[in-house]
């Protein structure tokens, strides 16, 4: 994770970042306007093999990839905005 998400003094993820990650939407393609959290794991596996996009979207997708392959989606569900 990036330094903005975890600090040396606080081992817990920033709740504001978790909320943003839980609600971040795919800006293009087949899954446009759907939350990264709701996209299939296989989609992230494909990007992991081919290369994640540059910038914030790529960082968010990499984090979601790690969350999904480790079965940790439940940690983000309380942060989803209805």
Q: What is the pLDDT along the chain (82 residues), one digit of tens a residue?
A: 444 555 456 777 889 999 999 999 999 999 999 999 999 999 999 999 999 999 999 999 999 999 999 999 999 999 999 8
pTM here is 0.82
For the chain, give the DSSP string: --TTT--SS--SPPHHHHHHHHH-B--SSTTTTSBGGGS-HHHHHHHHHH-PPSHHHHHHHHHHHHHHHTT-GGGTGGG---
């Amino acid at each position: 994770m990036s330094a903005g998400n975890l600090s040396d003094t606080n081992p817990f993820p920033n709740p504001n970042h978790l909320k943003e990650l839980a609600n971040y939407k795919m800006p293009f393609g087949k899954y446009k306007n759907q939350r990264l959290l709701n996209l299939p794991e296989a989609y992230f596996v494909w990007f992991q093999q081919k290369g994640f996009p540059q910038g914030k979207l790529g960082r968010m997708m990499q984090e979601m990839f790690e969350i999904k392959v480790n079965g940790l989606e439940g940690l983000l569900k309380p942060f989803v905005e209805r």
